[in-house]
Amino acid sequence: MMKLHNKEDLSLTLEDLRPRVVEKEGFSSFFMPPRHPSLLFDPAKCTGCGTCEMICSTRNTSRVAPSSASIKVVIDEKRAKVFSIYCQHCRKPLCIEACPTRALSKGKDGIVRIDTLFCTDCGLCTLACPAAAPLKDPGSGDIHKCDLCEGEPLCVNHCPENALTFTRGKLLRWIKGVRWTVQVTSFFLLVFVLIGTFCYFKAGAVSLSCPTGTLQNIASSGTIVLIGVSSALFLLLLTILAGRIFCGWVCPFGFILDLLGTIIPKKLGWPSFLKSRMTKYGILAGAVGGSYALGFQAFCTICPIGTLCRSYGVQSFFRSAELTIVPALASLEIAERRSWCRYFCPVGAILGLASTLGIIKIVIGAKKCKKFSCIQCAEVCPMGIIDAAHLRAGISPTIPMTECITCMRCIDRCPYGAAKIRFRWQKAVPSEAQP
């Protein structure tokens, strides 16, 4: 007699039949990003002719039937605007999560496909999609979703105004190579090689000094030395030209924080009442006021950049108490990346003030930005100033340049060239984000 199996042994779940595969990013993606194809749409060129719908429907059915297309032209009569809705092949597709039969999957080529063998046309993918891109054919009831025509999109070829373009995304992430090199060099020079370091550097006639230190100097000593002020101006001038690029590319403490940021896997986050960007201006004011009151440069003694340059290098390796400052403040990284730079650094504060006069800005152009389907810029920004909530709502965010450290990680990461540097007076299209 055959032994009767336990009921549990016979049950199969969807996990057994079609296990979910989680793709992990390999090492090669450090410089060579995965090139996922995508359609870009320019609403300024679209006339609402509907040719894209007509030609797409010939692929889904055997005849021209715009309502059977995988792309939909949405027309707003009141605002006199047209737009086309199609599958964005998101990096983290919500439709795949919602499909009860796991008919949707994202291939290695990045294309999200519906396996018609398992699709029941329930339409839950449309309910889950932020743009409601999977379209229900009113006639047959089938769900049609863009599959990029397996590499040669018909709509792109046939759009009479070239409003639709097909892109595979950028080939190389080169900015990070240059930036890490500059950071390592600057760290090496400022901490180990040069004496006088970041706080005050003098080589013959050339002298550079920290603006925050200079302010504290003026406050504590009560005298203004012109050469001191002009030395401090160098860093401020650099900020006016290139934003807080000192913070992103030169600061040795920033380099330590960036290194820690790559090693620490998951960040715990701060409670929201601690997360005020104005605190660092308060610390700046406190540093200057404290210097005035105490008669010596109050903050400079505990400045992580200063102590890093002084205690860890050539000058003297064992200035005991100072050694603890760098690890203590660097441990803030556990909560958020560059926590020190975001909320506390008075040098960053004064550079932030200088950047209000800055001539450049980083914009995320709405035309090329893939918004909710990508969100890589928000994930990679160390200062956390790219609003992921805006992106998920389908709006390209604006970047506050007083907080931006011009590390250009967003520009490096953006596969579609949406994130770019522009002069402040250059207009971005469309002009302002509409919430």
Partner 1 sequence: MTNRSETLSKKIAEAKKSSGAHGCVECGRCVAVCPMAEMYTNFSIEISPRGIIKKTLMDDSVADDTSIWYCTECNAGTDVCPQGVSCRDLIRSLREAVIDEGKREHTKTCPSCSRVFVAIPVEHFVRTRLNEEPPEVFDTLALCPPCRRELYLVRNS
Contact positions vs partner 1 (CB under 8 A): 14, 43, 72, 74, 76, 79, 81-83, 85, 94, 97-98, 100-101, 120-124, 126-128, 130-132, 141, 366, 371, 388-389, 392-395, 430, 433-434
* In the complex, least distance from residue 331 CB atom to partner 1, rounded to whole angstroms: 27
Token pair recorded at residue 21: 């595969």
Strands 81-85 and 72-76: antiparallel
CA gap 239, 350 in Å, rounded: 10
| 295 Cβ contact partners less than 8 Å away, ≥ 6 residues apart | 220
Specify the residue, 131 or 351, whose C-beta has the smaller distance to partner 1: 131
* In the complex, least distance from residue 169 CB atom to partner 1, rounded to whole angstroms: 20
Specify the residue, 141 or 271, whose C-beta has the smaller distance to partner 1: 141
The answer to whether residues 86 and 71 touch, using CB atoms and an 8 Å cutoff, is yes
* In the complex, least distance from residue 379 CB atom to partner 1, rounded to whole angstroms: 12
Taking alpha carbons only, the member of 330, 328, 325 closest to residue 312 is: 325
Give the CB-side neighbour count of residue 159, counting CA atoms within 13 A.
22
* In the complex, least distance from residue 75 CB atom to partner 1, rounded to whole angstroms: 8
Specify the residue, 40 or 308, whose C-beta has the smaller distance to partner 1: 40
* In the complex, least distance from residue 132 CB atom to partner 1, rounded to whole angstroms: 3
Which residue is associated with the tokens 């290194």? 259
* In the complex, least distance from residue 272 CB atom to partner 1, rounded to whole angstroms: 14
Specify the residue, 100 or 160, whose C-beta has the smaller distance to partner 1: 100
| 191 Cβ contact partners less than 8 Å away, ≥ 6 residues apart | 197, 252, 308, 309, 312, 313
Strands 104-106 and 112-114: antiparallel
Specify the residue, 162 or 356, whose C-beta has the smaller distance to partner 1: 162
Taking alpha carbons only, the member of 378, 384, 433, 389 closest to residue 405 is: 384
* In the complex, least distance from residue 133 CB atom to partner 1, rounded to whole angstroms: 8
Token pair recorded at residue 225: 């030395």
Specify the residue, 104 or 298, whose C-beta has the smaller distance to partner 1: 104
CA gap 105, 427 in Å, rounded: 39
CA gap 371, 35 in Å, rounded: 17
Q: What is the residue-wise DSSP string for 193-218?
A: I-SSTTTEEEETTEEEE-HHHHHHHH
* In the complex, least distance from residue 345 CB atom to partner 1, rounded to whole angstroms: 28
Token pair recorded at residue 244: 């807080």
* In the complex, least distance from residue 390 CB atom to partner 1, rounded to whole angstroms: 9
Specify the residue, 54 or 131, whose C-beta has the smaller distance to partner 1: 131
* In the complex, least distance from residue 71 CB atom to partner 1, rounded to whole angstroms: 11
CA gap 184, 20 in Å, rounded: 41
* HEC readout, 364-433: ECCCCCCHHHCCHHHHHCCCCCCCHHHHHCCCCCCCCCCCCCCCCHHHHHCCCCCEEEEECCCCCCCCCC
The answer to whether residues 339 and 57 touch, using CB atoms and an 8 Å cutoff, is no
Specify the residue, 40 or 341, whose C-beta has the smaller distance to partner 1: 40
What is the distance between the terminal CA atoms of the chain, rounded to a whole angstrom? 70
The answer to whether residues 70 and 87 touch, using CB atoms and an 8 Å cutoff, is yes
* In the complex, least distance from residue 388 CB atom to partner 1, rounded to whole angstroms: 7
Specify the residue, 263 or 268, whose C-beta has the smaller distance to partner 1: 268
Specify the residue, 120 or 157, whose C-beta has the smaller distance to partner 1: 120
CA angle, residues 65, 68, 70, in degrees to nearest 5: 125
Specify the residue, 14 or 32, whose C-beta has the smaller distance to partner 1: 14
